[in-house]
């Protein structure tokens, strides 16, 4: 996977978790 796409995906995930904190995303960290 491209690093740019990966960073973009992580950015979207973090943005979503700000509104909807999910245990699954916290597990990735």
Q: Cα separation of 2 and 8, whole Å?
A: 10
- pLDDT, tens digit (0-9, with 9 covering 90-100), for 1-29: 689 999 999 999 888 777 766 655 566 55
pTM: 0.48
CB 25 within 8 A of CB 17: yes
SS (H, E, C) the chain: CCHHHHHHHHHHHHHHHHHCCCHHHHHHC
Residue 3 φ then ψ, to 5°: -60, -35
Rounding to the nearest 10 degrees, give the CA dihedral for residues 21, 23, 24, 29. 90
pLDDT score for 15: 84
């Amino acid at each position: 996977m491209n690093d740019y796409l990966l960073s973009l995906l992580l950015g979207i995930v973090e943005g979503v978790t700000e509104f909807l904190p999910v245990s699954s995303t916290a597990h990735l960290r």
